[in-house]
Amino acid sequence: MPLFELKGDDLSAVSQVEFVNEKTLQSLVEKNLKAVFNFRFVATEFRTGAVHAGRIDTLALSEDGNPVIIEYKKVASSELINQSLYYLSWIKHHHGDFGIAAQKALGKSVEIDWSDVRVICLAPNYKKYDLHAVQVMGANIELWTYKRFSNGTVYFEEQYKRSTAAP
């Protein structure tokens, strides 16, 4: 269903447009982390060191003080799920690196709760295999989609979040 703009009593369809590149989306989300996710910004393009040789798009701290990794893609890509697992593993073994970055960004008194570390993937869509993979693997990876429209509207929608309810 398309998005419609209301002008008086008339509806007109609003066309969907793409972000120029991933960095444009990333910058927009980072500048608006509080409004979009209720997170505090920690770092951008965070290097994971020589051994892991990666660069995490965005590091943040959730409203509950939990570390969050956000990864962005301009197109649907199964690589995003693998990349998310890699970074989730990295952060679980590098509390000190995240802690230093958080203190640098948010002050020495910042408190970090390691009980619910997660990754948020932001992409325009996902393949059915990606949705199934995150459901069966049990990792704390959330899948979100985004849409940008010609009237300046941006829409974020949660596609999958691991249930924390006990069986």
pLDDT value at position 81? 87
pLDDT value at position 55? 92
Identify the weakest region by mean pLDDT among 55-64, 102-111, 127-136.
127-136
Q: What is the pLDDT of residues 27-37, one digit of tens each?
A: 999 999 999 99
3-state class (DSSP) for residue 76:
coil
pLDDT value at position 163? 65
Q: What average pLDDT does range 29-46 have in this prediction?
A: 97
Angle ∠(35,97,59) on CA atoms, nearest 5: 20
Ranges 84-98, 99-113, 130-144, 149-163, most confident: 99-113
The dihedrals phi and psi of 86, each to the nearest 5 degrees, come to -60, -45
Q: What is the pLDDT of residues 109-123, one digit of tens each?
A: 999 999 999 999 999
Helix residue ranges, H only, 9-165 = 22-31, 33-37, 49-52, 79-92, 95-106, 128-137
- % of the chain beyond a pLDDT of 90: 71
pLDDT value at position 158? 94
Average pLDDT, the chain: 91
